[in-house]
Structure formats: C-alpha cells, structure tokens
Amino acid sequence: MLIEKYYDGVEFHREEKIIYARFLKPHRVLSTCRAAGGLRDDLEYVYNHQSCEPAGHSHRHAASLWRDPVAYRQRTCEPYGLPAEACATMGTAANMNHAAFVREAFRGLQVVAVCTGGVEANAGRAGDPASVFETADGFEKLPPAEETPGPGTINTMIFINHPLIPGAMVRVIMTATEAKSAALQELAVNSRYSDGLATGTGTDQIVVAAMQTEAKPLTSAGKHAKLGELIGRTVLAAVKQTLANQNRLTPAGQCSVKIHLERFGVTCGQLMDRVCDHLAAEHAELLRKNFTEIERDPVTVAAVAAMVHLKDKFTWGVLPAACWSEIMGAYAAQIACAVSGRYDRMDAYRRRLAPGPGHADAAAFPGLAGRAMAMGFEEKWGEREALAERPAGTGKEVKPR
C-alpha cells in the first residue's frame, strides 16, 4: 500500500509488517544495516521490518538466519517481491503502524524522517555496562548480565532531496543521533541499565539517503547549517511521535514522581511503601487510596524532578559532595511543602530532612524523597504540627533533638 511520496524522489509503502522506501531517482545511502550497510550507490530500496512482537514472542525466523544477515534479508524480501540484493535491511519489534513521518523544508531543500521506536525495556545510556563481548565465535555474555536485553529499538530513516559529500553523510548520522538523544531527554526516559537518563537503546539503527542530482553536493549537516537544523527538527519530532504511538510515551504522561525516581531502583509500589513507612496507619491507608493523584501532582513532580536533577549534578561532579546534606535537605523540603501546601514550614522541613553524608548513594536517594512526601502528607492531614522522624515501619515518633 502506497502511504506517501516525497519530492518526486522516493515513495513509501507499508505491507503487513514492513515499511519500505522505493527510490524513484538514484540515492546515495549510508546505513548501519548488517546487509548492504555502509556507503552504497546501488540500492533501490531501504526498509524497516517488524520481525517479532515486543514481548513474549521469539523471532519468526530461525536463529541461524539472524546469524546470516544476507539470508535474513532474502527471507524477508521474498513475500513482498523486493529484490534482496538491492535492499538495505533494518529489523525491529516495533509496530509498523506506529511509524512517524515528518517532513521539513527550506528554499527547496527537503528532509524527511521516518521513525519507529520502543524504549520500555532496552533504553540505555552511552557508557552503561555492556552485556556481551563479540569474539570470533559469536557473542559472549558478560557478568553480571544473565538475561538477553529486553526489546526496544529506535530505527530512523532520513531522506534528503539533495546530494551530499561523504563526510556530510556521516555528519547527518551525528546530528540525527543528537536529536534522538534530545527527544529522550525531553521525555525523561530512564536507562534500564544504570541510574542515568537514556540516550538511545542498545539496538538502534539508522539509514541516510541523499538523492543524487546534478546540483553541487552539500558539505555540512551540522547544527550551524540549515540542513542540520532540518535534520534535528524532523528526527526530534519523529522520535517523540513514534514513542507516543508505540509506548504511549508523551511529555504529559511523564509528569510522575515514580517515573523520575525509578532509575534509582524503585517501583511505584515500593515508593508508596516507603512513604507509608513514615505514616501512622490511618494516614497510610488514606495515602494508598490517593497515591496516583499525589505522585502525579505537577507541583510535587516539579519538586522531585529538581531534586533528581541535583542528584545528577553530584554524580557528574558539578556539585561537591561536601554540600550533599545542605542541598538535598533544602530540596527535599520543597517536596514536603509541595505535598502539604505549607511553604511557611520550609525551614522546619529542611532541618528534619537534611540527610547525613552516608545517604548519598542511589539506593538511599528514593527513601529521602519518600520521607519528604510523607512529612508533607502527614502535616496536610494530621493533627500534629509536623511529622517527626521515626524508624521505618514502627509508627513510633522520634522527637527531633
């Protein structure tokens, strides 16, 4: 089925589990594809193929085909009548119906980005611990990795209606990758392999195709060049749109305390338990019934997000460790104020919440946020003037010194 045609040079078709681009005019292609990858001038098609479902489904093709990209390409192309030797191949678990098409233009220059994506199980940050090491015999699993990474891939195809020099083709990939990472940053996507924000997934792929004409090739695709701007805008928009389609991942949907804290190893249920550990039984029951509304309250999310950002600043070395207690105490107090609505209690919250130097690790960090939420909630609804510190789970107050 023909779904779109751009600049009289390329048309896009979707058939069952595949989206393929058919070149109406010659294009130079640079890609990460295992079959027909690298820089090519002899391709007629590039395509993105859904080979399995995102969860609970093994690949439809035999494992041996995955180790032989040429055979995999042949098997994939046959049902659709595509000439395998003239195709560059990308594979994914993402639904082709969730693909995003974005076009930008300036003075006759056109850029089209086509993206599919999913990040729920495989989002990672550049530099995260690897799970495998490639040897002559294949991929060897590295400890402590015990399981194959979950599904999740962002596949990007970029089409430009103007020739580029080879160096500019490579620069397109750099600019597009920055745009993809910017989209994940704006969506606050967490790495599944560390406590950092994700910059991509472990299996991302990209295709760049520039139409070959008699025009003088462009030499720059960086951020200062208009071409780079168009690439950045199309990829940023396409990545965000496809993740909204595939994962229901939207900016508004990311307004959540849990989402901002989960990269530090806490689930929604665990966070709720940590808050309730500091509440009297009656208030703990009330909080559990209203936890979704509380953890999605924009003012509370803003306070938690600010504290998380500062935690990153400590991790990156921007802020000195000696200031941990002072800074975290102040911003944890912001969380308590957001929940209680009592900003006049800021100083009292700060004194009670200021953590010791031994609580600077990622595992203890969600506990501080949970304790701050509990302090604000107890003061909002309790008869006591403020929630004092107590050992987790005892329900007994410990009077501040």
Q: State the DSSP string of 253-273.
A: GG--HHHHHGGGT--HHHHHH
CA distances from 380 to 292, 336, 338 (A): 17, 10, 10
Structure tokens at 350: 């700060």
Calculate mean pLDDT across residues 162-175.
98
210 in the same domain as 332: no
Residue 201 pLDDT more than 80? yes
End-to-end alpha-carbon separation of the chain, Å? 73
Decide if 388 is inside a domain: no
Asked whether residue 178 is assigned to any structural domain, the reply reads yes
Q: How confident is the model at residue 143 (pLDDT cuts 50, 70, 90)?
A: confident
pLDDT tens-place string over residues 85-129: 999 999 999 999 999 999 999 999 999 999 999 998 999 999 999
Q: Residue 156's closest CA among 90, 210, 110, 108?
A: 90
The DSSP bridge partners found for residue 209 are 29, 159
Q: Are residues 271 and 225 located together in one domain of the fold?
A: no
Domain that holds residue 44: 2-254
Question: Per-residue pLDDT for 20 more than 90?
Answer: yes
In the chain, what are the helix, strand and coil shares in percent, each to the nearest 5?
Answer: 40, 20, 35
Which three-class secondary structure state does DSSP give residue 1?
Answer: coil
| Residues 46 and 190 placed together within one structural domain of the fold | yes
- Does residue 314 share a domain with residue 228? no
Residue 145 inside a domain? The answer is yes
Mean pLDDT of 35-62: 79
Q: What digits encode the pLDDT tens for the residues 308-343?
A: 999 999 999 999 999 999 999 999 999 999 999 999
The predicted pLDDT at position 53 comes to 63
Residue that the structure tokens 């729920």 belong to: 120
| pLDDT, the chain, mean | 90
Q: Are residues 262 and 249 in the same domain?
A: no
Provide, rounded to the nearest whole percent, the portion of the chain with pLDDT above 70. 89
**Per-residue H/E/C for 315-364:** HCCCCCHHHHHHHHHHHHHHHHHHHHCCHHHHHHHHHHHCCCHHHCCCCC
Q: What's the rounded mean pLDDT across residues 373-384?
A: 85
Whether residues 28 and 126 fall in one domain:
yes
Q: How far is CA 140 from the centre of its chain?
A: 26
pTM to 2 decimal places: 0.89
Higher pLDDT among residues 159 and 356, named by residue: 159
Strands in 32-108 per DSSP E: 38-40, 45-50, 87-92, 100-106
With CA atoms as reference, report the closest residue to 165 among 229, 226, 212, 109: 212
Instruction: Say yes or no: 289 and 325 in one domain.
Output: yes
Query: Is 63 within a domain?
Result: yes
For residue 78, pLDDT over 50 is answered with: yes
Rounded distance, CA 369 to CA 359, Å? Answer: 12
Asked if the structure places residue 387 within a domain, the reply is: no
**Rounded distance between C-alpha atoms, residue 141 and residue 134, angstroms:** 9
Q: At what angle do helices 324-340 and 346-353 cross, to 10 degrees?
A: 130
